[in-house]
Amino acid sequence: MVIGNFEVKAISVSHDAVDPVAFRVRYGRYRIGIVSDLGRVDRYLIDELRGGCDILAFESNHDVEMLRTGPYSPPPLKARILSDHGHLSNEQAAEAIARIVKPETHVVLTHLSQENNRPDIAYSTVSQYLANRDVRYASLECASQDRGGSSVLTLDES
C-alpha cells in the first residue's frame, strides 16, 4: 500500500488479537520496521525485515524472571504473556534483532512492560546478546511510554 511518499507493508504476526500485524515502511531509500504485540517471531517476519531496516522499532516487553516471580497477577495473565500469542521477552527480542539488523540499523526497544521490565534490563539483555554474537548495529535505545525515543535518523529523499 502506498500512502503519500510512504510504501507500507503489513506483516502478519502471532498475537491474541484480530489480524495482528507488524509493518515495514519505505520512504525513499529508507526502510523502517515496526514490530510490537507478538508472542513469537517466525521466519516470515525475519525474511521480510532481514538486513533492510535503517530503523527497527522492536518489542522487548518483559524480563521472564520478573514476570514469573513478580506480583503481576492473575496467573492466567502471566501464562498468556508468556505464550506464543502474548508478548516477546527481552531474550526473544534479542534473538530476532540479531537476525534482522545490519551495521547501519538504529534499534529502538519498544512496548516495555512497566511492571515486568526495566529499560536497563532490556537494554543490557539485548546489547549483551548482540555483542556476544558480534552482531553490529548503529545504535540501541529503549523508548519510553511517556516520551518515545530519541530522533535517531533524519530522513530525506536525496
Domains of the chain as residue ranges with CATH:
2-142 (3.60.15.10)
Cα atoms found within 13 Å of the Cα of residue 1, Cβ hemisphere only: 7
Structure confidence at residue 112 (pLDDT): 96
Single-letter amino acid code for the residue at 144: S
What are 101's three cell numbers? Answer: 539488523
Kindly tell me if the per-residue pLDDT of 149 is higher than 70: no
For residue 22, what pLDDT band results from cuts at 50, 70 and 90?
A: very high
Q: What integer is the mean pLDDT of 21-37?
A: 94
Contacts of residue 87, defined as CB under 8 A and 6 or more positions apart, other chains included, come to 37, 38, 39, 59, 61, 62, 81, 111, 113
| Mean pLDDT of all residues belonging to the chain | 90
Structure confidence at residue 72 (pLDDT): 74
What is residue 28's three-state secondary structure? Answer: coil
Q: What integer is the mean pLDDT of 124-147?
A: 93
Residue 103: is the preceding peptide bond cis (ω within 30°)? no
Structure confidence at residue 148 (pLDDT): 58
